[in-house]
Every structure is written in C-alpha cells, then in structure tokens.
Structure 1
C-alpha cells in the first residue's frame, strides 16, 4: 500500500544519520540516483499520460459512457493520482531519507496513497461485480447512472476512512539534523496496534478484493465459455456480442493479475518488516525498497496499455488522442468507432425472444450504443 512507504522511511531513519548538511547514511552516488530518477520519471510520464487519455476517451465520447466505463474512469483517476502525487515524492524521500515538503504534505502523503490504492482495487472489484450481474444474471436490474455515482462516492469515502488513522498520527520530526515525515503510533506492548492496522489494511486493499474478483471472474468465465449460440445465429450479432464479452473479461482479468503481481512483493516486504524490524537497519534495504516501490507504482501505467492492446475502441481513441505524433495515423473508422450509433436492429434483436435476450441481455439500452457487450 502506498502509505506504508512512510513506515519504511521511519525505520530507515532509525539507522545512523548524517548532520544538518543534508547527507545521510542512505545518500546514493550520483549515477545511481540518476538511474533511479530516470526509471521513476518514465513511470510517472507513462502513467499520467495513459490514464489521462483513458479518461478523455470515455468522457469525450457519448458512446463510451457506460456503467463499466465509469468505474474504469475511477480506476484511471486513482492510478493517475497515485503516479503524480505518490510515486515522485516518495521516491525523493526514499532516495535520500530527508523530508523536504512540509507538515501539510506529510499528512497528505500518509492519507492519499492508501486512499487511491483502495479506490483502484475496489473499482476493479466493482467492474467484476457489474460484469458478474450482466453476464451471470442478465435478467436482474443493472446499476443506474445515479447508483453508479453513489457507489463511486462510497468507495472514496470508505477509502478515506481507512487511511485516516495513518494520517492522524503523522508528524514531522528532526533526527540528528535530518527532517523526517513519520507516523508516530501510540505506544503499546510490542507494537500490536501498528501491526494490526497494517494487516487489516493489506487484507482490505489486497487479499479480500482479489479473492472476490477471482471468484467472480471464475464464474463469469465458466458462464461465457459454456454458453452456446443457436446455429442460425452463429454468424450474427449474438456471436459478436459474446466474443466482445470474452475479450473484455480477458482484458480485465489481465488488469487484475497485473495489479496483484505488482503489489504482492511490496506487501510481503511490509509483512516481513512487521516481524523482523532489524531488516530496515541495513543500507541495502534502500535499493530493495526502491525496486519494490517502483514495481508497485508501475501498476498505474499498465492498464492503458492493456486497454489499447486488447480493446478496439480504446485503440481507436488512443490513435485519435495522439494524432499529432508522426507514427500515428487515425482513420475515419477510428472516429466512427467512438461516435457511430448501432442500428435499431440490435435493440430489436435483443428483445425478439427470451433466448436472444439471454445472449444479449447484459446490454442495457444505454449500453447498446456502446456496441461491445457492456465493455469499453
């Protein structure tokens, strides 16, 4: 979780420090710092540009404004904020172990990372739940636009509540001339409060939602890949809708797996540190932390790449967004892909028989204009 980075720095600061000259035991050679800075700058640029483009593609085109895509906007916004407001500042702090950004930003830095991490993974969970209802229970009512906004607002409120304790106990200290942003938890026997809080946070923003999504996508996969299409419809709209559903599910499963792989080493690092705090006293831990933190933050830049590679509509959107690049050539088909409204025959077809409705029933009237089975 993003906010845990402060705890790493807190423990690192317990080691030998320099004086007020701004040099600490964790200062790196210039060449090494330049390499890490290049890696982090590249990450931030790709993540911010990619996620901002995803948000533009959805908001600028009426055809893309579906329930699922609103959750994708929420996910992209959280990833954009994580890259812009956590990755860069936390790298500067971890690379030298001196806090340069003042008390107010110390509070923010211990509140915001956990908040946006929670928002990211629960936006993925909401997408999985929406797809589950659309595909496994196509006759059940779908979320309205108002309900979707309420769910998104609820995700943010719960995320802020979960992150508040770490923000509340944040403070600025000076350790042998070096300024630190630390989380000063109340004294208790053996640090049980700290350990319990971090285990609860890791469970809520990693393990629990991943289990829920694993179950949801397993059921969705079994439902889709077992679904048979009547022979007389094997080359019609139903086949296209079913294929689109499968592609979208594959893309979202890849998004979830990428998130899980990127964040697992980071969470294990903190779980290990909770039981063996002496690992934070070794100077090599700085390099380990920077590598694990980069891997975790890199999860913010992969989703736009996945959408672009696996979704035709997003691919058209990216070509339109980057039309000024010499290697990008948007076509008229790209514009039609995002603006063209399907003919009325699709809606008539989905209402023709109960069997047809079962095949296309996860496309609400508002999503019918989206053309890709409730996906982007």
Structure 2
C-alpha cells in the first residue's frame, strides 16, 4: 500500500521506522502495550481452548460424528489456527511495526490468515448447504463420509490457491534500520493489481458467502416455520424434532451474524485504505488497527461459547472436558448425551414418521434419515 502504512496482516509496509534500536514511530507506551497484550492473550486462550474442546467433543464420541459436525470441526480447526498463529504474531508486529520472525515466516504469515479465513466462512457455507438440502429437500441423498472429506479438502485447496499470490510476493525489507514484512506487488498502473486483488479476496471470503448463507437460511427458516405436524402426529417426538431444527437454525444464524459483525469493520478499514492511503500515516491509526484486529480475531472465540449455551450435547461435552475444574460437575446424563445411541424402537418410530408425513404431503424431519458419515444426522447441532 502506501508509503507510511501501519502494519496489518503482514501485507502492507511502513516507512516510519526510525533506527536500528528497534524503536519506530508506532512504538507505544509500556502500559498501553500491557493492556493490549492482556486483551489479545485472553482472546487466544479462550479461542484455542474452546475450539480444541469442540474438536475433541466431536471426534472422541462416535455419536457426534455427523456430516454437519465434520464441517463444524473444520470451522473450529480454522478458528483455532487463526487465533494461535495470526492473532499472536500479527499483534507482535502491529505493536512495534517491526518484523522479528524471519523471511520464511513472512511468507507463511501472508498465506495462512487468508487461507484459514476462507476455510472458516466456507465451512459455515457448507453447513448451510447441508442443512438446506436436509430440510428443504429431505429425500435427496446426503453427503457420504468420503464426500464430506472431499468437500473439506476442496475448501482447503481453493483457500490455499486464493492466498498464494500474496504469499508469492512476500518479502523482507530494511526500512531505516527496522525490519518489515511486506507484499511487494509488481509495478502496475496506480496499484490497480493490489486493489483488484484485495477487493476480490474480500468479495470471495466475506460478501459472497454471506449472501449465499443469507438466502439459504432465509429459505430454511420459511420452510421450518411454515411446517405443521398433522394432529395425529402431534406428539412429543415429532414436535421435538421440529423444535430442534429451528434451534439449530437459530444457532447457526447467530454464528454467521457474529462472524459478519466482527469482520466487517476490518474489511472496511482496508477498503478505505486502498482509496485513501494517507490515513495510515496518522499516529492514532495503530490504536484503531489493534482494536479492529482484536474485534476480527475475537470471532474465533465466540462459536464454542454459542454451541455451549444453545446446545445440550455440547454443554455436556464441555462439562466432561472440564470436569477437573472444581466448579464443574458432570452428571451421568452428560455421558449418555454423548455416547447413547437411539434405540431400535425410536428409529422405527422415526422411519414410520417419515413415511406417514410423506404420504400426507408434509416435509419430513431430516433426522428421520440415518446419517452416512458415522452416525444419525441429528448428531450435534440439534437437541436429542
């Protein structure tokens, strides 16, 4: 970007370094640095612990291994990596505007953040697509376990391809004695290549998937809230399944909205900077960037909290995972939630419900169809 930009995702340079002592024009007082460090450390600890626990809950319990939950694992893994790598190292860079981590990690730091952000939002998109098919077209075949793995692998490959140009042009420079990690884009007319790349990335990892999810969840919501269970079927089990789907939709909509709110100011910051580069020359821009970056990174710690608050099985999983804490006491019901398989009579009743609703022209709950990825489709996102 411009000639005196404050550090960002290691993709912009700064010409305000002062000397070889490691002090730049963007160095801050020690008390400010301590406060920011505490804020970022809290974020990283909550995000890494929460997302690691989500991954354990799903992978360690067979009942939890469903198509939707595999995408949740992918989302949690991306969020964990974003917090552990991007948040930590980018904060250190932004706090002094000096790059301490060498050339190889400079390339990595310009590859990984874009990659894991793409993986995060397209894992959410895959969940929305999976729920769309299950609820709007319940008799369509669902993804198999190999198909789910192929989709996840495809998301990672496309994400790496999208981030590769920024990684390829990464370089280390010495600016008035201060080491900087920047992206040295080829010379072009007025920086159009850089602007087009940034706009394309923001469109692909933010606006486009959010539009897709908005449409998908709107249709899902209309389908669920218009659905009526026939009177002779209006007993506890059928009403429970319908309520469970509605609760899952609310949960995922909250996840998506949280992501959108956290990342919007950060993207607007770069869009504005692309058209008005002199804003990066102001001393206050460091504090603005650190605040916007913290808000964006905080999206990595909210999902486990949302799952724990809104889903009974996740709540049980968290109690079991943190049973060593004196204020956490898991119960026998918590173990049953994660390990108990539906009885044969319950499965027969669900299949009977499916056939009856089909004969009466109603949309069948997707949970009536057995899963193809290691367990029933009502695994985690819905209440049992």
Q: TM-score, normalised by structure 2?
A: 0.93
Q: What is the distance in 2 between the residues matched to 1:311 and 1:133?
A: 22
* Number of aligned residue pairs: 370
- 1:7 aligned to 2:8? no
CA 1:343–1:356: 2 relative to 1, 3 Å: farther
Comparing 346-355 and 240-249, the one that deviates more:
346-355
Mapped to 2, the partners of 1:125 and 1:369 lie a distance apart of: 22
Secondary structure of the structure 2 residue equivalent to 1:7: coil
Partner residue, 1:85: 85
Is 1:300 the counterpart of 2:313 in the alignment? no
Q: State the partner residue of 1:229.
A: 229
1:362 Cα deviation (Å)? 4.4
Does 2:62 correspond to 1:58? Answer: no
Match of 2:249 in 1: 249
**Equivalence for 1:359:** 364
| Correspondence for 2:39 | 39
Q: Alpha-carbon deviations, 1:71-100, whole Å to 9, x = none?
A: 000000000000001000000000000000
The answer to whether structure 1 residue 209 and structure 2 residue 213 are counterparts is no
Aligned equivalents of 1:362, 1:185: Cα separation in 2: 51
Where structure 2 has 5 or more consecutive residues not aligned to the other structure, the ranges are 1-6
For the 8 Å contact 1:135–1:362, the answer to whether it is kept is no
1:238 aligns with 2:238: yes
Are the aligned partners of 2:369 and 2:377 in contact in 1 as well (CA < 8 Å)? no
The aligned residue for residue 4 of structure 2 is none
Change (3 A) 1:113 1:224: same
Distance 1:365 1:372, change over 3 A: closer
Q: Return the alpha-carbon distance in structure 1 between the equivalents of residues 269 and 368 of structure 2.
A: 43
Structure 2 contact 370–377 (Cα < 8 Å) conserved: no
| SS at 1:22 equivalent | coil
Alpha carbons 1:363, 1:373 under 8 Å: kept: no
Match of 2:3 in 1: none
Aligned equivalent of 2:381: 375
Partner of 1:290: 290
- What's the CA shift for 1:300? 0.1
Q: How does 1:1-376 map to 2 (within 5 A)?
A: 5-8=9-12, 10=13, 13-14=14-15, 16-352=16-352, 354-356=355-357, 358-366=363-371, 370=376, 372=378, 375=381
| Structure 1 position 375, deviation (Å) | 2.6
Measured in 2, the distance between the counterparts of 1:229 and 1:62 equals 30
Deviates more, 1:336-345 or 1:178-187: 336-345
**Per-residue deviation, residues 292-322 of structure 1 (Å, max 9, x unmatched):** 0000000000000000000000000000000
**CA positional deviation for 1:149:** 0.2
Superposed CA RMSD in Å reads 1.6
- Measure the CA separation in 1 of the matches of 2:199 and 2:89: 25
Q: Distance in 2 between matches of 1:297 and 1:356?
A: 45
TM-score, scaled relative to structure 1: 0.95
The answer to whether the 8 Å contact 1:323/1:330 transfers is: yes
Per mean C-alpha deviation after superposition, the further-off stretch among 364-373 and 285-294 is: 364-373
Residue by residue, what CA displacement relative to the aligned partner does 1:129-153 show, whole Å, maximum 9, x if unpaired? Answer: 0000000000101000000000000
Distance in 2 (alpha carbons) for counterparts of 1:202 and 1:266: 10
Alpha-carbon distance between aligned partners in 1 of 2:287 and 2:168, rounded to the nearest angstrom: 29
Q: Deviations over 1:157-209 (max 9, x none)?
A: 00000000000000000000000000000001110000000000000000000
* Change over 3 Å in CA distance of 1:363–1:128 after alignment to 2: farther
Distance in 1 of aligned mates of 2:254 and 2:27: 37
Contact conserved, 2:93 with 2:99, CA < 8 A, in 1?
Answer: yes
SS in 1 for 2:172: strand
CA contact (8 A) 1:342 1:369 kept: no
Secondary structure of 1:366's match? coil
Task: Output the CA distance in 1 between the equivalents of 2:325 and 2:31.
Answer: 32
Identify unmatched segments of 5+ residues in structure 1: none
Q: Matched residue of 1:272: which SS?
A: helix
